[in-house]
Chain A
Amino acid sequence: MAKKLIDLVQTKFADAVVHSHSRLGNDTIVLHREHLVSVMEFLRDDPATKMNFLRDITAVDYHHRVPRFDVVYVLYSMEHKHMLIVRVQLNEEDIDIPSVSQLWGCAGWLEREVYDMYGMNFTNHPDLRRVLLYEEFEGHPLRKDYATQASQPRVELLKPERDSVEEFFHYVKDKDQATGSRAAE
């Protein structure tokens, strides 16, 4: 079974697949961004695949790789009991990606979380807002260049959160102290 799903997609959408692998038993295909929605719709509706359950959407920030981001879709079929991971690679300058919220209802929530944490711009999303963090938060904290301790308080603090600036900059290896972003090493 291991290669069956990958072969099916590769024969049907030959120019959509960048590459594919089955590392650690996880069947994975990497797609071009333009073909994402059509391939996902095929995977959901085709009787051989029947991916009727979108388990998760998440993203990975590889930071020094080009392209920098991966958006990861984990698909599962309740009927055939098989799983497929779909990835789309995105450059840092162009983080638009088509939304799949019209295919799975839960995708709208998951895409909002990815937008919140990584800043992906899901086009055609009905309501792309932050879902976990507050509205006035600036930046996207799960990106590797966001300093882990750079908090953004909503109320006036009685005293500083950390004892010393040195303690803070111990974690921030950057000369740009205003943004607190981590330097490229």
Chain B
Amino acid sequence: MGLEYSVPENVVITTRLDEVVNWARKNSLFQYPFVTACCGMEYMATASARYDMARFGAEIPRFSPRQADVMWVVGTVNHKLAPYLKRIYEQIAEPKWVISFGVCASTGGFYDNYATVQGIDKIIPVDVYIPGCPPRPEQVLDGLVKLQEKIELEPWRKYAYEEKKRSRDQAAGPDENPLFQRVK
């Protein structure tokens, strides 16, 4: 990038810790793809060479939730599948984010019936919704950048256990505290 030659050698840069942590977090998002339907093809197209999601630091899909940071819920989730989605979400270590990919995951889509969950936000908290049936890769990358912008502005200790415990103890009721909603 040329940065190495534009600053003098042995230079010390001072910055704020939260900016460094959030910068590192947003540029190394390990993904867990939870792919259930046709949106998966668009996810693969976005991840492969032409659109190249790796440019944004979301390089490697990890097929173990314990190694992942961001969960992509790609496709329709029905009520039979809902407990497994919730369990996999709970297995991801903090900090974790969820992207809802396509209208079926976001709202249920045109499956307005008994079998389909009307949006995965009824089961797990969602950070970014990407509309489309299926969304184009440009939309997907836009959603990823939106998540990066969100991470950049977050308080960096938000996901620590002590922080959650403290805000949970201070809160008057669980409904008033968004952090409690997240761990609930």
- Contact at A158–B181, with CB atoms within 8 Å? yes
Q: Which of B113, B115, B122, B125 contacts A157 (CB 8 A)?
A: B122
A158 and B123 in contact, given A133-B80, A148-B113, A153-B79 (Cβ under 8 angstroms): yes
Residues in B with CB closer than 8 Å to A147 are: 114
Determine chain B's interface SS by DSSP, over half rule.
loop
- Contact at A161–B118, with CB atoms within 8 Å? yes
- Contact at B114–A154, with CB atoms within 8 Å? no
Query: Interface range on chain B: under 10, 10 to 19, 20 to 34, or 35 or more?
Result: 20 to 34
A159 and B114 in contact, given A133-B80, A154-B83 (Cβ under 8 angstroms): no
Residues in A with CB closer than 8 Å to B117 are: 151, 153, 161
- Contact at A151–B80, with CB atoms within 8 Å? no
Query: Is the CB of B112 closer than 8 A to any CB of chain A?
Result: yes
A149 and B112 in contact, given A154-B80, A154-B82, A161-B118 (Cβ under 8 angstroms): yes
Q: When chains A and B are docked, how far (Å) is the Cα of A151 from the Cα of B44?
A: 31
Residues in A with CB closer than 8 Å to B124 are: 158
| Minimum distance in angstroms from A122 CB to a CB of chain B | 22
Count of A residues near B, CB < 8 Å? 19
- Contact at B80–A146, with CB atoms within 8 Å? no
- Contact at A155–B123, with CB atoms within 8 Å? yes
Query: Is the CB of A104 closer than 8 A to any CB of chain B?
Result: no
Interface string of B32-70 (1 = CB under 8 A from A): 000000000000000000000000000000000000000
| Minimum distance in angstroms from B120 CB to a CB of chain A | 10
| Minimum distance in angstroms from B46 CB to a CB of chain A | 28
Query: Is the CB of B86 closer than 8 A to any CB of chain A?
Result: yes
Q: When chains A and B are docked, how far (Å) is the Cα of A165 from the Cα of B121?
A: 19
Q: Which of A133, A146, A149, A155 contacts B86 (CB 8 A)?
A: A155
Residues in A with CB closer than 8 Å to B118 are: 151, 161-162
The interface centre, meaning the residue of A147, A148, A151, A159 with most chain B CB atoms within 10 A of its CB, is A151
- Contact at B181–A154, with CB atoms within 8 Å? no
Spell out A's residues near B (CB within 8 Å).
Answer: 133-134, 141, 146-155, 157-162
Spell out B's residues near A (CB within 8 Å).
Answer: 79-80, 82-83, 86, 112-119, 121-125, 181, 184
Pairs of residues from A and B, 3 with the lowest C-beta to C-beta distance, nearest first: A161-B118, A151-B114, A157-B122
